[in-house]
Amino acid sequence: MVAGLGFELKSIAAAVLGGVSINGGSGSVIGALIGAVLVDLIQNSLVRWELVSEFWQEAVLGFLILAAVSADALLMRRLNRLRIRREKAAAPVAKEATP
């Protein structure tokens, strides 16, 4: 009954932390692998670390995914804005160069 319980979340967390965009279209297998190692490393250290109880595992994992996904979204938005600004800056120069 319990086999594989909660794995769907862990695998999504691994992929997203590894830099795979949640909206599709970008990411790599190596990144997802590093993400998976990172997720398990964090979970394992929470078990071993006496300062923080192991009950924090789930909470930390949940908010970690949220942070990674929103960092991705915000970064993409910033990059897009940067690109648009650069294109706007480049456009007048191109006009002057044509005649």
Partner 1 sequence: MRRFWTLGPWETFLLVVLALVYAANAWLSPEFLTLRNQVNLFQLSIEKIIVALVMTFVIINAEIDLSVGSMMGLSACAFAAMVGQAGMPAPLACALCLLIGLAGGFVNGVFVARVGLPSLVVTLSTYIGYRGVARVLLEDRSIGNFPDWFNALGQRGLVGPLTLGLLSFILLFMVLYVVLERAGFGRKTYVIGVSRDVADYAGIDTARHKILIFMASGLVAAYAGLLFAARVGAVRGDVGQGFELDIITMVLLGGVSIFGGSGTLTGVGLAILIVLSLRNGMALLNVTGHIQTGVVGLLLLASVLVPRLGARLSGRTVA
Closer residue to partner 1 (CB): 48 or 95: 48
Of residues 41 through 70, those in contact with partner 1 by CB under 8 A are 53, 55-63, 65-66, 69-70
- Yes or no: say if 46 and 56 are a contact pair by the CB < 8 Å rule: yes
Min dist CB 75 to partner 1, Å, is 11
Among 11, 12, 34, 38, binds partner 1 (CB under 8 A): 12
Among 29, 33, 37, 73, binds partner 1 (CB under 8 A): 73
Q: List interacting residues with partner 1 (CB under 8 A).
A: 6, 9, 12-13, 16, 22-23, 53, 55-63, 65-66, 69-70, 73-74, 77
